[in-house]
Amino acid sequence: MRNLTDFLLFIVLAIWVAACQQSTLIGEDLIDEDNTQVQEIDTLRVETSSLLLDSIYTTNASRLLAGAFADPYLGNVSAQCFFNLDSVDVFSIEDDDNLLFDSLSLSLQHDYEYPAIDHLQNLAVYTLKEKLDDEVFYFNHSAGPETLQKVGLATFNTRTTRNKRFNIRLSNDLGRALFEVAKKQDELDIDNVIQGMSIRQEGELAGQSVMGFPTDSIYLQVHYHDRKTDDKGSVSLKLKPALRYNRLLSDRGQTALRNLTQRGTAIASRQTNAESYIQAGVGICTKLDFPTLRSIRQNRKISVNLAYLDIQPIKSSYQGSDLAPLENLYVYSPTHKNTLKQTFWSGSEINPVNIQRTVNTLTGNSTYRIYLTDYISNILNQDADEYDGILLYTSASSTGINELGRVVLGSGQHQREAAKLHVIFTVIK
């Protein structure tokens, strides 16, 4: 009996292997050849455009961003953070006239940088005239409250601070005021000294990179000494930016996107060298349309077996530079106002689909492969003449407000890195 079972299993496997070798199209070995036909097409038009989203909500970002850099494709990008200050630690010093103030510093954890390069950088710290308003929605382009005065400026090497904690010395006047608050052991008085803070890059060393600091890493450190014993001491005040946001701006005046100024509008890739763009934080995404897709039907009954889009970063846009393309993209459905839906139709309403960049080890070329079987099938089975297309962006809920990154993509008409839609379908006769 066992020999018979093994023999039958061998026959089944042999038939399966033969079928696989003879078939090159998905589903071809499963259909009635007399009544159906499997076809593959990869010549459909893929149109792309660069869309400036209406607004990116950056309130309560988990990372503060500050700095600036120049991108030959997307212009000059700048980041400035604003935050209120709430104490989460006991902030007290013994009320002793022999204790004298020495210095005050702002301590930050440097955990992010784009582009990640070694260079000298300036960061300036300002106090705010008023607190951020918890009833106001702050976006990536919001101006924020007016700054009161500069209280600190530091120059440092990003190589020595990367993934480490570093300090920015603040003004003595501010330090003495906080020192007196600590001696009173009254944390409520901190609000009378500092309404809030802003960090930005400025000076001759500006324009190299944007740095990031986790919001839970912020400390104010007061240093003092005892004039009798000369003993030194310090007290650290961990701050909770209860309300904060990142202001992220870009000047595209000298780029192919110089006319992309109105939010919610798009520029076709035929006007931008057959390229489209995605930039986190700033709110530039790529919109995809397939205007000839319904030509597949030709009054036929069809069933989509597999559909996927291969879209490639322009190699020359990142090769030899520190502006690496985004590792992950997300697929969204657009609203009628060209904003991001937090879902994408893929058989059902689901969360945005995450797409990872893959690299061909032989050629070095990169590709994002986006599977669109259910989406394409839905379009082909609808009677409506129009559909909204799809949007490619970063994670709008997290990464897109805590990081800066970009990618330059080839459209369907690009000479080297052309986007291509593959559709394998069954024609039912």
Please answer whether residues 239 and 85 qualify as being in contact, where contact means their C-beta atoms are separated by less than 8 angstroms.
Answer: yes
Please answer whether residues 154 and 261 qualify as being in contact, where contact means their C-beta atoms are separated by less than 8 angstroms.
Answer: no
- Which residue did the predictor score with more confidence, 7 or 164? 164
3-class DSSP state of 14: helix
Specify the pairing of strand 197-200 against strand 164-170: unpaired
Each residue of 359-368: pLDDT tens digit? 888 888 899 9
d(CA 105, CA 218): 11
Check whether the bond before 115 is cis (ω within 30° of 0).
Answer: yes
What type of residue sits at position 421? L
Question: Mean pLDDT for the chain?
Answer: 83
pLDDT at 344 exceeding the cut of 60:
no
Q: Which pTM was predicted?
A: 0.83
d(CA 69, CA 393): 21
Each residue of 105-134: pLDDT tens digit? 999 999 999 998 898 999 999 999 998 888
Please answer whether residues 48 and 276 qualify as being in contact, where contact means their C-beta atoms are separated by less than 8 angstroms.
Answer: yes
Q: How confident is the model at residue 316 (pLDDT cuts 50, 70, 90)?
A: very high
Percent of the chain with pLDDT over 90: 42
Each residue of 164-180: pLDDT tens digit? 999 999 999 999 998 88
3-class DSSP state of 146: coil
